[in-house]
C-alpha cells in the first residue's frame, strides 16, 4: 500500500456515520458523509510499517484487512564495458523512480536509454568520469523514495569482463563469529582458495569419500585440499552417497551402518579429522526412519571419540515436503548431529526455468518450513551456493561455473545488460540472444548471510571454494567460530 490511506465505503443505501465503525491499529477513525458514501483519509504512515484496518458495518460480518506500507525502494547500479558501446552503467530500481531526478544525478555526456520504467542504461564512449550519486530523496512510485543514497565511482572503467557495482539498502546485520564450513574439491582454484582464506574458515570439508551400500568406505578426500587448511581450521571430510537405491539399502542394514561407523572412526583417528560431514541425497521417503537411526549410530560413534558429525539435508517450505526432502526427519537428525546443514540452493537448476540459484526470499521460505522441525537453530548452518549458472539463449543445457568466468562470459556479448532480482537479492545478466546468467556477488551473499543473525543460526556452509566472487572474503568475519 502507499503511505496514505483513502477509504470510501458505499452501500446500496445511504449509511450514516453512526452505523459504521472503522479503526486503524485499534484507534477509531472519524468518518464523514460525502455523496452517499462514508469516507476517511489517514495521514501518511511510515514506509515499511505494518497495519490492521477493522471495519464493522450493519448487516455484515466484521472485516479485518492487514496491510504493509510500501518500503523504501532498493536500487542496484553496475558499471562495465561493452564491446561496442564502450562504458555502460546499468541501473535497476525496485520501484519506478523519478526519471529526471535520476538523470540529473548521473555524469553528463552519457546517452540515457530507459529500457522500461525501472531500468536505465547509460552509455559513454569511454569512462564517464566522476561518480554516480543518487540521493535518497529521489521519489518513486507508490509514494516511496530510495532506501538510501547510492554512490558509485565512475572515474575509471573496470577491466573487460568485470563489474563495479553498488546497491542500497545495506545488507543488514551480519553474523559476528559464525561457524563457516567451506566445501572443497580437487581443483587448483578450490585448493588455492582454501589455502589463501583458511583464517576465515572454521571447517574445511573436502570431497572424495563415498559410502557404499554395504557400509564400506571408498575413495579419499583430496590430499592437497586437506593439507591446504591452516592450523586453526578443522577438517571434516564429506562422505557422499547420491544413489537412491544404495542409500536406502545402506540405511536399512544395521550391519552396514555399523561397518560404516567403524570405518569412519578409524579414518578420522588415523588422519586427525575433527569429524565427518555426511551427505546422503535422493533418499526415498520410505528410508526416513532408517536414515535417522543411521545418523544416530554414526553420531554416537564419533562422539565417543570426541569428534563431530554434520549432516547435509534438503530443507523444505512450510507444508511442502518434496521427493527430495521427504527422506529427512529433521527433528531426529537435529537431536543426533552436531550440525544440520540446510542445503538451501538449487532453487533453479538445469531442469527448471532460469532463475537464482538461491534467492533470499526462497531461502526464507525454507527456513520457515525447516527450522521449527530441527528445533534448535543454534545447531543449524545455512547452505549457500558460490557457483553461478548460465542458461544459454540457444536452448542448450544450463551449466554452472565460477563467479568471475560467468560474468566475463556474459559481458563479452555486445548489449549485455546487468539486472537485479530484488526479492531474491540476486544479480543477473541478460544478453540480446536470450542468455541469462545468474550469480551471487559479495553484496548479494551478505544479504543472505544476514539470515543467520535474523534466525539465530550457528553459521553457514558454502558450496564450494573456487567458485566464489573474490570479494566474498571482505564480507565474511575475519575471525569465525572455531569448533
pLDDT digits (tens, 9 = 90+) for 44-80: 999 999 999 999 999 899 999 999 999 999 999 999 9
Picking from 221, 224, 223, 229, the residue whose alpha carbon sits closest to that of residue 195 is 229
At 225 the pLDDT is: 80
Please report whether residue 435 resides in a domain. no
- 40 forms bridges with which residues in the sheet? 7
Please name the residues in contact with 368: beta carbons below 8 A apart, sequence gap of 6 or more: 317, 318
199 contacts 232 by C-beta, under 8 angstroms: yes
Q: Which set of grid coordinates corresponds to residue 77?
A: 547500479
In this structure, the answer to whether residues 365 and 458 fall within a common structural domain is yes
Cα–Cα distances in angstroms (integers) from residue 29 to residues 6, 42, 66, 292, in the given order = 12, 8, 16, 56
Which residue in the block uniquely carries the three cell numbers 561407523? 261
CATH code at position 298: 3.20.20.80
At 456 the pLDDT is: 97
Asked whether the predicted pLDDT for residue 141 surpasses 90, the reply is yes
Each residue of 177-199: pLDDT tens digit? Answer: 999 999 999 999 999 999 999 99
pLDDT band at residue 14 using 50, 70 and 90 as cut-offs? confident
Pick the last residue of a domain from 117, 139, 168.
Answer: 168
184 contacts 206 by C-beta, under 8 angstroms: yes
At 76 the pLDDT is: 98
Q: Which set of grid coordinates corresponds to residue 448?
A: 543472505
The secondary structure of 102-116 as a DSSP string is HHHHSPTT-EEEEEE
In this structure, the answer to whether residues 205 and 118 fall within a common structural domain is no
Q: Which set of grid coordinates corresponds to residue 50?
A: 505494518
At 79 the pLDDT is: 98
Strands (E), 141-253: 150-153, 164-168, 179-184, 203-206, 209-211, 217-219, 234-235, 238-241
pLDDT band at residue 410 using 50, 70 and 90 as cut-offs? very high
239 contacts 267 by C-beta, under 8 angstroms: no
Please report whether residue 27 resides in a domain. yes
Quick one: CA dihedral 380, 376, 366, 246, positive or negative? positive
In this structure, the answer to whether residues 188 and 124 fall within a common structural domain is no
First to last CA, the chain: 46
Which residue in the block uniquely carries the three cell numbers 555526456? 109
In this structure, the answer to whether residues 109 and 219 fall within a common structural domain is no
* Range 383-406 average pLDDT: 98
Please name the residues in contact with 166: beta carbons below 8 A apart, sequence gap of 6 or more: 76, 77, 132, 150, 151, 152
Number of structural domains, the chain? 3
Asked whether the predicted pLDDT for residue 360 surpasses 80, the reply is yes
Percent of the residues in the chain that have a pLDDT greater than 90, as a whole number:
95
Each residue of 210-255: pLDDT tens digit? Answer: 999 999 999 999 888 878 777 789 999 999 999 999 999 999 999 9
393: DSSP letter: T
Pick the last residue of a domain from 144, 168, 192.
Answer: 168
Q: Which set of grid coordinates corresponds to residue 300?
A: 554416537
217 contacts 209 by C-beta, under 8 angstroms: yes
Q: Which set of grid coordinates corresponds to residue 185?
A: 574439491
At 230 the pLDDT is: 73
199 HSE (CA, 13 A, CB side): 4
At 232 the pLDDT is: 85
Please report whether residue 404 resides in a domain. no
Cα–Cα distances in angstroms (integers) from residue 408 to residues 125, 156, 251, 389, 412, in the given order = 20, 18, 44, 13, 6
The CA-based diameter of the chain, rounded to the nearest angstrom, is: 87
> From CA 213, how far away is CA 306, in angstroms rounded?
26
Please report whether residue 160 resides in a domain. yes
The answer to whether the predicted template modeling score (pTM) of the entire model surpasses 0.85 is: yes
At 229 the pLDDT is: 75
Asked whether the predicted pLDDT for residue 378 surpasses 80, the reply is yes
Range of the domain at 43: 5-68
> From CA 421, how far away is CA 358, in angstroms rounded?
11
At 5 the pLDDT is: 93
At 200 the pLDDT is: 95
Please report whether residue 400 resides in a domain. no
In this structure, the answer to whether residues 151 and 196 fall within a common structural domain is no
Asked whether the predicted pLDDT for residue 157 surpasses 80, the reply is yes
Each residue of 344-355: pLDDT tens digit? Answer: 999 999 999 999
Please report whether residue 401 resides in a domain. no
> From CA 442, how far away is CA 476, in angstroms rounded?
9
Which residue in the block uniquely carries the three cell numbers 593439507? 227
In this structure, the answer to whether residues 31 and 158 fall within a common structural domain is no
At 327 the pLDDT is: 98
Please report whether residue 297 resides in a domain. yes
Mean pLDDT score of the chain, rounded to an integer? 96
At 477 the pLDDT is: 92
In this structure, the answer to whether residues 113 and 39 fall within a common structural domain is no
In this structure, the answer to whether residues 111 and 187 fall within a common structural domain is no
Pick the last residue of a domain from 143, 168, 193.
Answer: 168
Sheet architecture: strand order including 27-28: 27-28, 21-24, 50-56, 63-68
Which residue in the block uniquely carries the three cell numbers 551473499? 445
At 483 the pLDDT is: 87
In this structure, the answer to whether residues 280 and 211 fall within a common structural domain is yes
In this structure, the answer to whether residues 290 and 309 fall within a common structural domain is yes
In this structure, the answer to whether residues 35 and 127 fall within a common structural domain is no
How many CB atoms are located within 10 Å of the residue 250 CB? 25
Please report whether residue 280 resides in a domain. yes
At 47 the pLDDT is: 98
In this structure, the answer to whether residues 87 and 117 fall within a common structural domain is yes
At 3 the pLDDT is: 97
Residues in the chain: 483
At 212 the pLDDT is: 97
- SS3 of 320, please? strand
> From CA 204, how far away is CA 274, in angstroms rounded?
10
Amino acid at each position: 500500500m502507499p503511505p496514505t490511506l483513502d477509504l470510501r465505503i458505499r452501500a446500496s443505501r445511504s449509511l450514516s456515520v453512526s452505523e459504521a465503525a472503522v479503526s486503524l491499529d485499534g484507534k477509531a477513525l472519524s468518518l464523514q458523509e460525502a455523496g452517499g458514501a462514508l469516507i476517511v483519509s489517514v495521514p501518511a504512515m511510515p514506509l515499511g510499517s505494518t497495519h490492521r484496518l477493522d471495519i464493522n458495518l450493519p448487516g455484515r460480518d466484521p472485516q479485518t484487512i492487514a496491510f504493509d506500507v510500501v518500503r523504501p525502494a532498493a536500487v542496484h547500479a553496475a558499471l562495465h564495458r561493452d564491446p561496442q558501446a564502450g562504458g555502460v552503467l546499468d541501473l535497476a530500481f525496485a520501484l519506478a523512480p523519478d526519471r529526471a531526478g535520476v538523470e540529473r544525478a548521473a555524469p553528463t555526456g552519457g546517452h540515457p536509454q530507459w529500457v522500461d520504467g525501472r531500468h536505465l542504461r547509460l552509455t559513454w564512449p569511454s569512462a564517464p568520469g566522476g561518480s554516480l550519486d543518487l540521493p535518497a530523496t529521489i521519489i518513486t512510485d507508490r509514494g516511496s523514495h530510495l532506501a538510501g543514497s547510492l554512490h558509485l565511482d565512475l572515474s575509471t572503467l573496470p577491466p573487460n569482463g568485470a563489474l563495479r557495482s553498488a546497491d542500497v539498502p545495506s545488507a543488514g546485520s551480519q553474523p559476528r563469529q559464525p561457524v563457516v564450513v567451506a566445501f572443497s574439491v580437487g581443483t587448483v582454484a578450490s585448493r588455492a582458495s582454501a589455502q589463501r582464506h583458511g583464517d576465515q574458515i572454521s571447517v574445511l570439508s573436502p570431497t572424495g569419500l563415498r559410502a557404499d551400500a554395504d557400509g564400506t568406505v571408498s575413495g579419499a578426500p583430496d590430499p592437497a585440499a586437506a593439507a591446504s587448511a591452516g592450523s586453526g581450521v578443522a577438517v571434516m571430510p564429506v562422505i557422499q552417497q547420491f544413489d537412491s537405491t544404495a542409500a536406502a539399502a545402506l540405511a536399512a542394514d544395521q550391519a552396514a551402518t555399523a561397518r560404516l561407523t567403524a570405518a569412519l572412526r578409524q579414518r578420522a583417528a588415523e588422519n586427525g579429522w575433527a569429524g565427518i560431514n555426511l551427505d546422503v541425497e535422493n533418499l526415498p521417503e520410505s528410508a526416513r526412519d532408517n536414515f535417522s537411526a543411521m545418523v544416530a549410530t554414526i553420531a554416537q560413534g564419533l562422539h565417543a571419540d570426541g569428534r563431530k558429525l554434520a549432516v547435509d539435508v534438503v530443507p523444505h517450505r512450510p507444508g511442502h515436503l518434496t521427493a527430495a526432502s521427504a527422506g529427512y526427519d529433521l527433528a531426529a537428525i537435529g537431536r543426533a548431529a552436531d550440525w544440520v546443514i540446510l542445503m538451501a540452493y538449487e532453487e533453479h537448476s538445469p531442469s527448471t526455468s532460469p532463475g537464482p540459484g538461491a534467492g533470499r526470499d526462497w531461502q526464507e521460505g525454507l527456513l520457515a518450513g525447516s527450522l521449527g522441525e530441527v528445533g534448535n537453530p543454534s545447531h543449524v548452518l545455512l547452505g549457500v551456493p558460490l557457483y553461478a549458472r548460465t542458461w544459454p539463449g540457444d536452448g542448450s543445457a544450463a551449466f554452472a561455473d565460477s563467479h568471475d568466468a560467468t560474468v566475463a562470459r556474459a559481458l563479452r556479448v555486445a548489449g549485455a545488460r546487468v539486472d537485479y532480482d530484488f526479492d531474491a537479492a540476486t544479480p543477473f545478466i541478460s544478453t540480446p540472444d536470450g542468455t541469462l546468467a545468474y550469480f551471487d556477488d559479495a553484496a548479494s551473499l551478505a544479504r543472505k548471510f544476514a539470515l543467520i543473525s535474523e534466525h539465530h543460526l550457528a553459521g553457514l556452509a558454502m558450496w564450494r571454494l573456487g567458485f566464489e566472487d573474490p570479494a566474498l572474503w571482505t564480507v565474511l568475519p575475519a575471525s569465525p567460530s572455531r569448533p
